[in-house]
Structure 1
């Protein structure tokens, strides 16, 4: 995307504010630009878990500033367990201090946005916490919304007490839910999947997960629009 003074690219904003999502580090902005450019004016609410506390090597709140500038019509909420991350990060940016697996923390974050359009988990990078957070927050993501899990390359790192199989099993469970969704919807269109009971009730992921896209270091899980 070509830069203009009033419409900088996401990567330019990332570099400006010093987030490691930029092309100078993880280069996630290349992927985010492709995925989010069409949502730039439509997005009204974004929740990001992980602001950047005392152990963070970058600038705390840098990605919150980036998102608020990129999504000019959105309220942005940052969630972090470290109380030192509580600060003024600019207009339309809110901070919630608390554990990402505590319902009270996540519930507060949800109330601070008019619509939960995008959720980004750049928090603990511990598989069990990442999965637990998704399992609670996905219900609040609006139909057609996007849930992103960052730094998935950490899923096998011992420093986070991770076992790679945990995240692999999570991914495969999402894949199976998508497959069930497709089979049930196809059956309702008079296909011959006779093994599916006509009274079968889909769980929330079978019903609502539209797609799972795996990038190097990122998972994008999209919710069905209806």
Structure 2
């Protein structure tokens, strides 16, 4: 079976870009982490921001046992290699009611990737809506976090992210929740983060040990 980085090149997704630190792309790291999903007979993957369909076809080929749900503010005008396993919703990430309806329609996900607007407010609010639908052995990914910082955003459309302080507050809140989980039972809460993993450009949150 081809690896994610090979498939990313095949389908032309920008997730193949090599990081300046570590000489690895997102997909090299994803392959290492998400290979644990191969053990499951059926998977559900949700990605926000799928314009062009490049990553959709990559997921479909890498995980032939997966149904892939895509969300984008633009129309779906691309062809997929297996239409029977792809479900598309045209929706604005800011429409939290619609995000909740999509989450509920498919009940649970093994992998959620936010590659949408890259605005801090959007991906934090999306996280609170969609994270409850993540399975305990799943991965919640927020991509392209360099957009949080003023050094990168001076001439970019994501400039509203400012100095990234809102992102830092979010990280601090999640980190506090993880450590308080050692002392207080959070299993009855929708917000139940077991771990955060930071990599060059993205972060992953988990509900359990995977």
- Give the TM-score of the pair, scaled to structure 2: 0.84
Question: CA shift at 1:107, angstroms?
Answer: 3.6
**Contact 1:81–1:100 (CA<8 Å) still a contact in 2?**
yes
Out of 38, 57, 62, the residue aligned to residue 54 of structure 2 is 62
Correspondence 1:222 to 2:206: yes
Out of 107, 117, 127, the residue aligned to residue 120 of structure 2 is 127
Match of 1:188 in 2: none
Correspondence 1:97 to 2:81: no
4+ aligned runs moved over 4 Å, structure 1? 23-26, 111-114, 200-203
**Contact 2:104–2:133 (CA<8 Å) still a contact in 1?**
no
Match of 1:29 in 2: 27
Say which SS state the counterpart of residue 182 (structure 1) adopts.
coil
Give the greater-gyration-radius structure (CA): 1
**Contact 1:40–1:70 (CA<8 Å) still a contact in 2?**
no
Q: CA RMSD of the aligned region, Å?
A: 2.3
Deviations 1:31-64 (A, max 9, x none): 1011101213425100000012xxxxxxx11001
Q: Structure 2 unaligned runs (5+)?
A: none
C-alpha spacing 1:153/1:120, structure 2 compared with 1 (3 Å): same
Say which SS state the counterpart of residue 184 (structure 1) adopts.
coil
Match of 1:4 in 2: none
**Contact 2:53–2:79 (CA<8 Å) still a contact in 1?**
no
- Give the TM-score of the pair, scaled to structure 1: 0.78
Aligned counterparts, 1:74-89, within 5 A: 74-83=66-75, 85-89=76-80
Match of 1:196 in 2: none
Correspondence 1:204 to 2:190: yes
Match of 2:136 in 1: 143
Say which SS state the counterpart of residue 219 (structure 1) adopts.
strand
**Contact 2:100–2:129 (CA<8 Å) still a contact in 1?**
no
Question: CA shift at 1:23, angstroms?
Answer: 4.9
Deviations 1:103-125 (A, max 9, x none): 34324533564741110000000
C-alpha spacing 1:23/1:147, structure 2 compared with 1 (3 Å): same
